[in-house]
């Protein structure tokens, strides 16, 4: 356990140093996470502007959408994972071969980098979030249960997003190019994860499809809980679903890793 922690700390420090060096680029990636939810917020608020429907869409009014998309901005940031994007690059350039020689599963390295990036960018983004919150005037419906369950569900969501993204990234061992797969995975997050719309507003078939995918458990659900929108039943069943997706993901990763590593053939070594 102790060598693992020491290695993680070392990765973490190295990643922090890299990001300080390339501040601009790190921040740009993070700003994307502001624009998309802001656009979605504007769009849904415009849709909820019809007095004939009581200025509501489903259970959401203007303030409700403001709260939802503000939180989806924050939760989406905290649950970002990008292994599916970069794995192909690391495999093609032979970087991954070096990592495989080290006495530590490469997923730990990614996990440390992931946490480092989030800490670094959250410091920069927090004031922007605050600005959006002041400007959008969100309406929350919170009590203690929602806050406690919300924090738990965000932590679970971070783990789910990371593990499932890494499972998708393993496809790189077969195809070496994962850009398209990463794109598809990210697109799923927009549509089924609740970035574009609260899951409950999706039309029938898309709504059922969202239950067959891990995406809403890594974004939409924690967001609903944290704005106080989710009912106690939804919270209970949601946390259970999250636990299932996490355990299933870990099991699938163990299995997938063992199969994939046999397929791995070094490139550019």
Partner 1 sequence: MLNATTMTRYLRLIRILLGVSLQNETAYRFDFLTKVAGSLLNVCGELFTLWAIFANARSLAGWGPYEVVVLLGVFRVMVGLVGMVIAPNMRAVMEDVRSGGLDHVLVKPVSAQFYASFRNWVLFRGLDGLMGAVMIIVGCTLLSARVSLATLALFAITIAAGAVIIYSFWLILATTTFWFTRIANIEMVFWNVFHAGRYPLEVYQPWVRWLLTFILPLAFLTTFPAQALVGRAGLATLLTSLTVAPAMFLLATAFWHFGLRRYSGASA
CB of 248 to partner 1, least distance (A): 26
Q: Give min distance, CB of 48 to partner 1, in A.
A: 7
Tell whether residue 124 is a contact of partner 1 (CB under 8 A): no
Q: State yes or no: residue 243 binds partner 1 (CB under 8 A).
A: no
- Candidate ranges 40-48, 94-102, 107-115, 226-234; the one touching partner 1 (CB under 8 A): 40-48
Q: Which of residues 7-36 bind partner 1 (CB under 8 A)?
A: 22, 24-25, 28, 31-32, 35-36
Query: Of the two residues 23 and 254, which places its CB atom closer to partner 1 in the complex?
Result: 23
In contact, 75 and 230? CB cutoff 8 Å: no
- Whole-angstrom Cα distance, residue 237 to residue 235? 6
Query: Could you give the 3-state DSSP secondary structure of residue 57?
Result: strand
Q: Which residues ranging from 196 to 215 are in contact with partner 1 (CB under 8 A)?
A: 196-197, 201-203, 206
Q: Which is nearer to partner 1, 32 or 211 (CB)?
A: 32
- Smallest CA-to-CA distance from 70 within 20, 118, 34 is with 34
> What is the number of other CB atoms lying within 10 angstroms of the CB of residue 216?
29
> Nearer to partner 1 by C-beta: 53 or 141?
53
The residue within the footprint of partner 1, chosen from 104, 190, 213, 267 (CB under 8 A), is 190
C-alpha 228, offset from chain centre:
20
Q: Which of 55, 183, 244, 268 binds partner 1 (CB under 8 A)?
A: 183
**Residue of the chain from 49, 55, 98, 265 that contacts partner 1 (CB under 8 A):** 49
Phi first, then psi: give them for residue 105, nearest 5 degrees.
-60, 135
Q: For residues 149 and 155, what is the distance between their CA atoms, to the nearest angstrom?
A: 10
Residue 62: which residues within 8 A CB-CB, separation 6 or more? 45, 48, 49, 55
Q: How far is the CB of 179 from partner 1 (least distance, A)?
A: 8
Phi, psi torsion values for 61, nearest 5 degrees: -100, -170
| Residue 189 binding partner 1, by CB under 8 A | no
Using a 10 angstrom Cβ sphere, with 0-12 exposed, 13-18 middle and 19 or more buried, the burial of residue 176 is: middle
Is residue 59 close enough to count as binding partner 1 by CB under 8 A? no
Minimum gap (Å) between residue 195 Cβ and partner 1: 11
Residue 60 DSSP SS3: strand
Q: Which is nearer to partner 1, 34 or 105 (CB)?
A: 34
The number of residues making up the chain comes to 269
Selected from 17, 42, 147, 266, the binder of partner 1 by CB under 8 A is 42
CA distance 235 to 223: 11
Is 133 an interacting residue with respect to partner 1 (CB under 8 A)?
A: no
Name the CA dihedral angle for 64, 68, 69, 75, rounded to a multiple of 10 degrees.
160
Binding site for partner 1 (CB under 8 A): 22, 24-25, 28, 31-32, 35-36, 39, 42-44, 46-50, 52-53, 57-58, 177, 179-180, 183-184, 187, 190-191, 196-197, 201-203, 206
């Amino acid at each position: 356990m102790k060598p693992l922690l020491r290695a993680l700390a070392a990765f973490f420090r190295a990643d922090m140093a890299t990001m300080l060096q390339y501040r601009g680029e790190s921040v740009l990636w993070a700003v994307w996470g502001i624009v998309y939810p802001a656009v979605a917020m504007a769009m849904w608020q415009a849709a909820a502007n019809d007095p004939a429907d009581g200025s509501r869409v489903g259970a959401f009014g203007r303030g409700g959408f403001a709260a939802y998309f503000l939180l989806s901005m924050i939760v989406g940031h905290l649950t970002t994972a990008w292994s599916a994007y970069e794995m192909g690059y690391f495999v093609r350039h032979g970087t991954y071969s070096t990592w495989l020689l080290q006495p530590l599963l490469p997923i730990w390295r990614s996990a440390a980098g992931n946490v480092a990036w989030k800490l670094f960018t959250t410091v920069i983004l927090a004031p922007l979030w605050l600005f959006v919150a002041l400007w959008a005037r969100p309406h929350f419906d919170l009590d203690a249960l929602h806050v406690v369950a919300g924090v738990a569900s965000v932590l679970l969501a971070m783990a789910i997003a990371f593990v499932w993204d890494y499972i998708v990234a393993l496809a790189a061992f077969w195809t070496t190019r994962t850009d398209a797969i990463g794109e598809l995975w990210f697109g799923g997050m927009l549509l089924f994860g609740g970035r574009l719309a609260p899951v409950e507003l999706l039309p029938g078939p898309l709504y059922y499809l969202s239950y067959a995918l891990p995406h809403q458990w890594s974004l939409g659900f924690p967001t609903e809980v944290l704005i106080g929108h989710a009912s106690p039943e939804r919270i209970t069943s949601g946390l259970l679903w999250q636990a299932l997706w996490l355990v299933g993901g870990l099991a699938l990763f163990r299995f997938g890793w063992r199969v994939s590593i046999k397929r791995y053939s070094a490139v550019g070594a």
